[in-house]
């Protein structure tokens, strides 16, 4: 398998090179030269496979011969060694809980897979790899956990000051060892722009071996399709595939689901559920795409005004607006509606949503009212305990603290203050080399 740049001005590369580079030299995102088709018998008998077997078979064509098969199976096994339960909420809606990993968020899958791939690729290398990543909330913690202690790899995480939840901040600022957190006086879009500029800077790339752990990196993006297959394993009505609502910010998650669909996974429809940062729902309504300034919301991991991965969605469907809008609907959900949804679902069904899941739930519920007879699932992307103020005020009771979160309490935050300015970031990174 080769990967090409979506800007079409860089050489094709292998999975190994795409992972190590993160972004192509022409500033484009890498994209697989073809979409592997899942074996129809695998789909027909999907319930007979373990998560490890299924994940290995899905990922093998994307990785090709860059990782030995035995090593890839081990990487996949370590990536998915926690539960992905599909939990019924009511007769029409189920919740795919993606928060049972070590950092209580769906991004554990991509971060664990990528960290292990990068560790494999870095064996025997004399120069350290510096992983540079921007986070709007959950990416930072997942990357920090996935890469903690990985030999030959340093991790630098940029996050917007005051715009991540307390648990999220502790997850990315209390690791130490090879993990450094940079607290940026700005938005996630500022952090993401600074990271992208770093990859294009010749001085930095001469001094450091840089790669990205955001979903722009194929090793972070591609494995996210696995839990869509795990969800279908648990979907009882195989004759009527589900509508899937995906809380969407940078659009790596829903793009991975769409990739699984193009590969052959049965899905009735996708919903891009956004908060008021709704550049993509606007496109789906009007046919005109215009990035926006990010706005802070209570579903902070989705506060992205210019989603990087939307270009991959366009590439999957050759920019065909009619095809895209047949398969994807977009919804915009306000903070007021998000809070009301958390309360309503808890009062009615005793199920606790986090703010991101609540955005997805409301969008799915609205779609199903408009399309009677269909059923679906919402991706519950983070544990509610990550957003205690919002959730507890909505449900009127304290949340039970999971063990992974309890371990963080009392730890000392360590971060480095940084202006929202690329030259400031460059100066810091050069001083490390």
Rounded to 10 degrees, what is the CA torsion of 401, 100, 155, 209?
Answer: -170
Count of CB atoms situated within 10 Å of the CB of 329: 22
Residue 131 burial (CB count, 10 A): 27
The secondary element (H helix, E strand) that includes residue 150 is none
Residues 6+ apart with CB under 8 A from 76: 52, 55, 56, 59, 113, 223
Helices (H), 154-200: 166-173, 188-200
368-390 b/e (C-beta count within 10 Å ≥ 16 → b): beeeeebbbbbbbbbbbbbbbeb
196 is catalytic: no
Annotated catalytic residue: which of 27, 37, 107, 397? 107
Cα 108 to its chain centre, rounded Å, is 9
CB atoms within 10 A of CB 410: 8
Cα–Cα dist 288/294, whole Å: 18
Q: Residue 48's CB: how many other CB atoms inside 10 A?
A: 11
| Contact in structure between 261 and 254 (CB atoms under 8 Å) | no
- Write out the catalytic residue numbers: 107
């Amino acid at each position: 398998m080769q990967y090409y740049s979506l800007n079409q001005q860089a050489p094709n590369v292998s999975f190994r090179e795409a992972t190590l580079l993160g972004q192509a030299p022409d500033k484009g995102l890498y994209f697989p030269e073809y979409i592997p088709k899942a074996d129809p018998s695998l789909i027909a008998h999907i319930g007979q496979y373990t998560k490890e077997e299924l994940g290995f078979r899905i990922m093998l064509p994307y990785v090709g011969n860059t990782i030995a098969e035995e090593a890839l199976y081990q990487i996949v096994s370590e990536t998915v060694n926690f539960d992905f339960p599909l939990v019924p909420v009511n007769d029409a809606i189920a919740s795919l809980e993606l928060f049972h990993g070590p950092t209580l968020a769906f991004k554990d899958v991509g971060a664990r897979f990528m960290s292990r791939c990068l560790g494999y690729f870095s064996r025997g290398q004399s120069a350290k790899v510096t992983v540079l990543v921007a986070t709007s909330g959950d990416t930072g913690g997942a990357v920090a956990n996935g890469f903690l202690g990985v030999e030959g790899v340093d991790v630098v995480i940029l996050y917007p000051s005051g715009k991540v939840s307390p648990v999220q901040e502790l997850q990315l600022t209390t690791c130490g060892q090879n993990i450094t957190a940079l607290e940026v006086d700005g938005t996630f879009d500022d952090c993401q722009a600074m990271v992208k500029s770093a990859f294009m800077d010749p001085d930095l790339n001469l001094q450091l071996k840089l790669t990205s752990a955001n979903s722009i990196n194929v090793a972070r993006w591609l494995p996210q399709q696995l839990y869509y297959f795990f969800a279908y394993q648990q979907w009882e009505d195989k004759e009527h595939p589900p509508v899937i609502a995906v809380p969407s910010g940078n659009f790596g998650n829903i793009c991975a689901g769409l990739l699984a669909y193009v590969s052959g996974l049965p899905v009735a429809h996708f919903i891009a559920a956004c908060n008021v940062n709704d550049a993509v729902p606007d496109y789906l309504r009007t046919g005109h795409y215009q990035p926006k300034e990010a706005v802070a919301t209570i579903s902070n991991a989705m506060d992205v005004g210019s989603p990087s991965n939307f270009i991959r969605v366009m590439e999957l469907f050759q920019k065909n607006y009619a095809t895209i809008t047949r398969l994807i609907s977009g919804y915009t959900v306000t903070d007021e509606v998000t809070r009301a949804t958390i309360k309503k679902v808890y009062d009615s069904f005793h199920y606790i949503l986090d703010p991101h899941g609540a955005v997805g739930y409301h969008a799915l519920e609205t779609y199903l009212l408009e399309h009677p007879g269909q059923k679906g699932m919402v991706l519950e992307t983070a544990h509610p305990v990550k957003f205690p103020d919002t959730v507890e005020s909505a449900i009127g009771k304290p949340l039970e603290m999971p063990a992974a979160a309890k371990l963080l309490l009392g730890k000392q935050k360590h971060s480095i203050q940084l202006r929202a300015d690329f030259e400031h970031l460059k100066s810091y990174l050069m001083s490390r080399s």
